[in-house]
Amino acid sequence: MNTAKCLTISYLTKASYASLNGSDKEADNISSIKKIQMDDGREYPYCSSQAVRRALREQLAVLGHTLSEGVAAAQKKGAATTQCEPQKYIDDDLFGFMRADKATIKRTSPVRVSPLIALEPYRGDLDFGTNYMSTKAGGNPNIFETEIHSGFYRGTILIELDRVGEKSPGDLYELKCDSKEKTKRVSDLLTAIQNLWTVGRQSRFLSDISPKLVCGALLRVKNPIFLETLEINEKNDINTELIASTIKDNENVIISSVIGERKSFFKSDHTEFLPIGEAFAIMREWMNKCFN
Protein backbone atom coordinates (compact mmCIF):
# COMPACT_ATOMS: atom_id res chain seq x y z
CA MET A 1 0.00 0.00 0.00
CA ASN A 2 3.01 2.32 0.01
CA THR A 3 2.23 3.11 -3.65
CA ALA A 4 -0.97 4.90 -2.63
CA LYS A 5 -1.18 8.51 -3.74
CA CYS A 6 -4.58 9.43 -2.33
CA LEU A 7 -7.57 8.38 -0.30
CA THR A 8 -10.84 9.58 -1.80
CA ILE A 9 -14.06 9.53 0.21
CA SER A 10 -17.54 10.37 -1.07
CA TYR A 11 -20.53 10.34 1.23
CA LEU A 12 -24.27 10.89 1.47
CA THR A 13 -25.97 12.47 4.43
CA LYS A 14 -29.48 13.72 5.10
CA ALA A 15 -30.80 16.88 6.68
CA SER A 16 -34.45 16.68 7.70
CA TYR A 17 -34.89 20.33 8.71
CA ALA A 18 -31.80 22.42 8.13
CA SER A 19 -30.32 25.75 7.14
CA LEU A 20 -26.75 24.54 6.66
CA ASN A 21 -24.95 27.53 5.22
CA GLY A 22 -26.00 31.18 5.14
CA SER A 23 -25.90 33.32 2.01
CA ASP A 24 -26.33 37.04 1.37
CA LYS A 25 -29.72 38.27 2.45
CA GLU A 26 -32.26 38.69 -0.34
CA ALA A 27 -34.38 40.84 1.97
CA ASP A 28 -33.81 42.49 5.34
CA ASN A 29 -35.95 39.97 7.21
CA ILE A 30 -35.02 36.79 5.28
CA SER A 31 -31.86 34.78 5.93
CA SER A 32 -31.06 32.88 2.74
CA ILE A 33 -29.21 29.61 2.27
CA LYS A 34 -26.60 29.09 -0.44
CA LYS A 35 -27.98 27.62 -3.65
CA ILE A 36 -26.75 26.73 -7.13
CA GLN A 37 -28.88 26.50 -10.26
CA MET A 38 -28.51 23.16 -12.05
CA ASP A 39 -29.15 22.37 -15.72
CA ASP A 40 -32.76 21.41 -14.93
CA GLY A 41 -33.39 25.06 -14.07
CA ARG A 42 -34.00 24.41 -10.37
CA GLU A 43 -31.96 25.66 -7.40
CA TYR A 44 -30.18 23.19 -5.13
CA PRO A 45 -28.94 24.16 -1.66
CA TYR A 46 -25.32 23.54 -0.75
CA CYS A 47 -22.94 23.85 2.19
CA SER A 48 -19.74 25.47 0.97
CA SER A 49 -16.37 23.73 1.04
CA GLN A 50 -15.13 26.49 3.37
CA ALA A 51 -17.87 25.59 5.86
CA VAL A 52 -17.05 21.87 5.61
CA ARG A 53 -13.34 22.58 6.15
CA ARG A 54 -14.18 24.75 9.17
CA ALA A 55 -16.35 21.95 10.56
CA LEU A 56 -13.50 19.44 10.14
CA ARG A 57 -11.11 21.80 11.92
CA GLU A 58 -13.50 22.19 14.84
CA GLN A 59 -13.94 18.43 15.10
CA LEU A 60 -10.15 17.98 15.19
CA ALA A 61 -10.11 20.39 18.13
CA VAL A 62 -12.78 18.28 19.85
CA LEU A 63 -10.49 15.28 19.36
CA GLY A 64 -7.80 17.07 21.37
CA HIS A 65 -5.67 18.77 18.72
CA THR A 66 -4.46 22.31 19.31
CA LEU A 67 -5.36 24.37 16.25
CA SER A 68 -3.25 27.05 14.65
CA GLU A 69 -4.65 30.40 15.78
CA GLY A 70 -5.20 33.26 13.35
CA VAL A 71 -2.78 36.18 13.42
CA ALA A 72 -3.01 39.63 11.87
CA ALA A 73 -1.10 40.35 8.69
CA ALA A 74 2.32 41.95 9.03
CA GLN A 75 1.67 44.26 6.08
CA LYS A 76 -1.01 46.92 5.77
CA LYS A 77 -4.19 45.68 4.10
CA GLY A 78 -2.81 42.15 4.21
CA ALA A 79 -5.02 39.17 4.96
CA ALA A 80 -4.92 37.48 8.35
CA THR A 81 -3.47 33.99 8.36
CA THR A 82 -2.68 31.13 10.72
CA GLN A 83 0.59 30.51 12.54
CA CYS A 84 1.90 28.77 9.39
CA GLU A 85 3.61 26.04 11.42
CA PRO A 86 2.57 22.68 9.90
CA GLN A 87 5.13 20.74 11.94
CA LYS A 88 3.34 21.83 15.11
CA TYR A 89 -0.27 22.23 14.03
CA ILE A 90 -2.32 19.52 12.31
CA ASP A 91 -4.61 22.02 10.56
CA ASP A 92 -1.68 23.94 9.04
CA ASP A 93 -0.46 20.62 7.64
CA LEU A 94 -3.79 19.27 6.37
CA PHE A 95 -5.54 22.47 5.27
CA GLY A 96 -2.66 24.65 4.12
CA PHE A 97 -2.01 28.39 4.52
CA MET A 98 -0.51 31.45 2.88
CA ARG A 99 1.35 34.35 4.46
CA ALA A 100 2.21 37.23 2.12
CA ASP A 101 5.16 38.95 3.78
CA LYS A 102 8.66 39.89 2.60
CA ALA A 103 8.86 36.29 1.47
CA THR A 104 5.54 34.59 0.68
CA ILE A 105 5.03 31.38 2.65
CA LYS A 106 2.30 29.08 1.43
CA ARG A 107 1.18 25.48 1.58
CA THR A 108 -1.42 24.03 -0.77
CA SER A 109 -3.89 21.96 1.19
CA PRO A 110 -3.37 18.18 0.85
CA VAL A 111 -7.04 17.80 1.84
CA ARG A 112 -9.34 18.71 -1.04
CA VAL A 113 -13.00 19.30 -0.16
CA SER A 114 -16.07 19.62 -2.37
CA PRO A 115 -19.18 21.55 -1.36
CA LEU A 116 -21.91 19.45 0.23
CA ILE A 117 -24.61 19.68 -2.45
CA ALA A 118 -28.26 18.71 -2.07
CA LEU A 119 -29.71 16.03 -4.34
CA GLU A 120 -33.19 17.58 -4.04
CA PRO A 121 -34.07 21.14 -5.09
CA TYR A 122 -35.03 23.99 -2.80
CA ARG A 123 -38.82 24.03 -2.43
CA GLY A 124 -39.29 27.51 -0.99
CA ASP A 125 -39.72 26.46 2.64
CA LEU A 126 -39.29 29.18 5.28
CA ASP A 127 -39.03 29.10 9.05
CA PHE A 128 -40.94 31.96 10.69
CA GLY A 129 -39.43 33.56 13.77
CA THR A 130 -39.98 36.51 16.08
CA ASN A 131 -37.43 38.25 18.27
CA TYR A 132 -39.22 39.61 21.32
CA MET A 133 -36.09 41.06 22.97
CA SER A 134 -36.73 44.46 21.38
CA THR A 135 -40.08 44.73 23.19
CA LYS A 136 -38.25 45.02 26.52
CA ALA A 137 -36.68 48.21 25.20
CA GLY A 138 -40.05 49.58 24.17
CA GLY A 139 -39.88 48.46 20.54
CA ASN A 140 -41.99 46.14 18.43
CA PRO A 141 -41.30 42.41 17.96
CA ASN A 142 -38.77 41.78 15.18
CA ILE A 143 -40.24 39.33 12.68
CA PHE A 144 -37.83 37.35 10.48
CA GLU A 145 -37.73 34.27 8.25
CA THR A 146 -35.03 31.72 7.45
CA GLU A 147 -34.85 29.51 4.38
CA ILE A 148 -34.83 25.81 5.28
CA HIS A 149 -34.39 22.61 3.34
CA SER A 150 -34.86 18.85 3.72
CA GLY A 151 -33.14 16.15 1.69
CA PHE A 152 -30.03 14.18 0.88
CA TYR A 153 -26.66 15.90 0.41
CA ARG A 154 -23.53 14.58 -1.33
CA GLY A 155 -19.92 15.50 -0.60
CA THR A 156 -16.39 14.35 -1.41
CA ILE A 157 -13.03 14.66 0.34
CA LEU A 158 -9.71 13.73 -1.28
CA ILE A 159 -6.56 13.36 0.83
CA GLU A 160 -3.19 13.53 -0.95
CA LEU A 161 -1.43 10.93 1.19
CA ASP A 162 2.01 11.53 -0.30
CA ARG A 163 1.88 15.18 0.85
CA VAL A 164 0.63 14.77 4.42
CA GLY A 165 3.46 15.55 6.83
CA GLU A 166 5.82 16.41 3.98
CA LYS A 167 6.79 19.73 2.43
CA SER A 168 7.31 20.27 -1.28
CA PRO A 169 10.74 21.29 -2.63
CA GLY A 170 11.31 25.01 -2.13
CA ASP A 171 8.67 25.47 0.58
CA LEU A 172 9.80 28.00 3.18
CA TYR A 173 8.75 26.19 6.36
CA GLU A 174 9.70 23.13 8.36
CA LEU A 175 7.68 19.94 7.94
CA LYS A 176 8.90 16.37 8.29
CA CYS A 177 6.61 14.05 10.21
CA ASP A 178 7.44 10.44 11.01
CA SER A 179 5.16 7.59 9.95
CA LYS A 180 3.44 7.45 13.36
CA GLU A 181 2.49 11.12 13.24
CA LYS A 182 1.27 10.89 9.63
CA THR A 183 -0.89 7.90 10.54
CA LYS A 184 -2.38 9.72 13.52
CA ARG A 185 -3.13 12.89 11.57
CA VAL A 186 -5.00 11.16 8.76
CA SER A 187 -6.70 8.71 11.14
CA ASP A 188 -7.98 11.59 13.26
CA LEU A 189 -9.16 13.36 10.12
CA LEU A 190 -11.13 10.22 9.23
CA THR A 191 -12.71 10.29 12.69
CA ALA A 192 -13.60 13.95 12.12
CA ILE A 193 -15.25 13.06 8.80
CA GLN A 194 -17.15 10.18 10.40
CA ASN A 195 -18.53 12.60 13.04
CA LEU A 196 -18.96 15.62 10.80
CA TRP A 197 -21.39 18.34 11.80
CA THR A 198 -21.65 21.99 10.87
CA VAL A 199 -20.73 24.57 13.47
CA GLY A 200 -22.96 27.35 12.10
CA ARG A 201 -26.70 27.81 12.60
CA GLN A 202 -26.89 24.98 15.13
CA SER A 203 -28.65 26.88 17.92
CA ARG A 204 -32.02 26.69 16.16
CA PHE A 205 -31.30 24.25 13.31
CA LEU A 206 -29.37 21.40 14.92
CA SER A 207 -28.51 18.98 12.13
CA ASP A 208 -26.47 15.81 11.74
CA ILE A 209 -24.47 15.79 8.51
CA SER A 210 -22.27 12.83 9.39
CA PRO A 211 -22.04 10.26 6.55
CA LYS A 212 -24.90 7.79 6.22
CA LEU A 213 -23.32 6.20 3.14
CA VAL A 214 -19.58 6.32 2.48
CA CYS A 215 -17.50 5.10 -0.47
CA GLY A 216 -13.76 5.09 0.13
CA ALA A 217 -10.94 4.11 -2.20
CA LEU A 218 -7.18 3.98 -1.90
CA LEU A 219 -5.71 4.93 -5.29
CA ARG A 220 -2.41 4.87 -7.16
CA VAL A 221 -3.50 8.15 -8.80
CA LYS A 222 -5.22 11.27 -7.50
CA ASN A 223 -8.82 11.21 -8.70
CA PRO A 224 -12.11 11.72 -6.80
CA ILE A 225 -13.72 8.78 -8.59
CA PHE A 226 -16.95 8.79 -6.55
CA LEU A 227 -17.56 12.55 -6.80
CA GLU A 228 -20.58 12.31 -9.14
CA THR A 229 -21.43 8.68 -8.36
CA LEU A 230 -23.59 8.68 -5.24
CA GLU A 231 -27.24 9.04 -6.17
CA ILE A 232 -30.67 8.22 -4.81
CA ASN A 233 -32.82 6.44 -7.41
CA GLU A 234 -36.52 6.78 -8.20
CA LYS A 235 -37.29 4.23 -5.47
CA ASN A 236 -35.67 6.58 -2.92
CA ASP A 237 -32.81 4.12 -2.44
CA ILE A 238 -29.08 4.06 -3.20
CA ASN A 239 -28.12 3.63 -6.86
CA THR A 240 -25.84 0.65 -6.26
CA GLU A 241 -25.31 -0.04 -9.96
CA LEU A 242 -23.57 3.29 -10.47
CA ILE A 243 -21.23 2.65 -7.52
CA ALA A 244 -20.37 -0.84 -8.81
CA SER A 245 -19.64 0.40 -12.33
CA THR A 246 -17.42 3.20 -10.97
CA ILE A 247 -15.31 0.67 -9.05
CA LYS A 248 -15.08 -1.62 -12.09
CA ASP A 249 -14.11 1.25 -14.41
CA ASN A 250 -11.27 2.26 -12.07
CA GLU A 251 -10.06 -1.17 -10.92
CA ASN A 252 -6.67 -0.65 -12.59
CA VAL A 253 -5.85 2.23 -10.20
CA ILE A 254 -7.75 1.12 -7.08
CA ILE A 255 -5.56 -0.52 -4.45
CA SER A 256 -8.48 -1.16 -2.13
CA SER A 257 -12.05 0.07 -1.71
CA VAL A 258 -14.79 -0.07 0.90
CA ILE A 259 -18.45 0.90 1.07
CA GLY A 260 -20.31 1.48 4.32
CA GLU A 261 -23.87 2.46 5.17
CA ARG A 262 -25.87 3.27 8.27
CA LYS A 263 -27.84 0.08 8.57
CA SER A 264 -31.65 0.52 8.46
CA PHE A 265 -31.26 4.17 7.44
CA PHE A 266 -32.05 3.74 3.77
CA LYS A 267 -35.11 2.08 2.26
CA SER A 268 -33.32 -1.26 2.13
CA ASP A 269 -30.12 -2.60 3.65
CA HIS A 270 -27.47 -3.75 1.20
CA THR A 271 -25.72 -6.95 2.24
CA GLU A 272 -22.67 -6.06 0.13
CA PHE A 273 -22.12 -2.89 2.22
CA LEU A 274 -20.47 -2.87 5.64
CA PRO A 275 -21.80 -0.99 8.66
CA ILE A 276 -20.42 2.53 8.39
CA GLY A 277 -18.31 2.23 11.55
CA GLU A 278 -16.54 -0.82 10.13
CA ALA A 279 -15.89 1.01 6.84
CA PHE A 280 -14.11 3.85 8.65
CA ALA A 281 -12.17 1.36 10.77
CA ILE A 282 -10.90 -0.30 7.58
CA MET A 283 -9.82 3.08 6.15
CA ARG A 284 -7.92 3.86 9.36
CA GLU A 285 -6.20 0.47 9.06
CA TRP A 286 -5.20 1.39 5.50
CA MET A 287 -3.34 4.37 6.95
CA ASN A 288 -1.33 2.10 9.25
CA LYS A 289 -0.22 0.11 6.21
CA CYS A 290 0.35 3.13 3.95
CA PHE A 291 2.64 5.01 6.30
CA ASN A 292 4.28 2.09 8.11
Alpha carbon distance 111, 92 (integer Å): 11
Minimum mean pLDDT range among 20-24, 104-108, 186-190, 259-263: 20-24
Type and span of the H or E element at 31: strand 30-31
Please classify residue 174 by burial: count the beta carbons closer than 10 Å to its beta carbon, then call 0-12 exposed, 13-18 middle and 19+ buried: exposed
Minimum mean pLDDT range among 71-85, 168-182, 189-203: 71-85
Over 60: is that where the pLDDT of 75 sits? no
Over 80: is that where the pLDDT of 65 sits? yes
Mean pLDDT of 26-33: 76
For the chain, how big is the Rg over CA atoms in Å?
21
Type and span of the H or E element at 288: helix 276-291
Give residue 137's pLDDT band: very low, low, confident or very high (50, 70, 90).
Answer: low
Q: What is the pLDDT of residue 86?
A: 97
127-144 b/e with 16+ CB inside 10 Å = b?
eeeeeeeeeeeeeeeeeb
Alpha carbon distance 38, 45 (integer Å): 10
Alpha carbon distance 245, 258 (integer Å): 14
Higher pLDDT, 274 or 24: 274
Percent of the chain with pLDDT over 70: 91
Q: Which of 62, 56, 59 is nearest to 96 (CA)?
A: 56
In 81-135, where does DSSP find H-type helix?
A: 90-95
Mean pLDDT of 186-203: 90
> Alpha-carbon dihedral of residues 221, 227, 228, 233, nearest 10 degrees?
120
Mean pLDDT (the chain) is: 90
Contact 23, 12 (CB under 8 A): no
Q: What is the pLDDT of residue 103?
A: 81
Give residue 24's pLDDT band: very low, low, confident or very high (50, 70, 90).
Answer: low
Q: What is the pLDDT of residue 201?
A: 73
Most confidently predicted of 167-176, 228-237, 275-284: 275-284
Q: What is the pLDDT of residue 289?
A: 95
Higher pLDDT, 51 or 1: 51
Alpha carbon distance 260, 246 (integer Å): 16
Give residue 290's pLDDT band: very low, low, confident or very high (50, 70, 90).
Answer: very high
Over 80: is that where the pLDDT of 51 sits? yes
Give residue 127's pLDDT band: very low, low, confident or very high (50, 70, 90).
Answer: confident
Give the contacts of 143 (CB within 8 A, at least 6 positions apart): 29, 128, 129, 130, 131
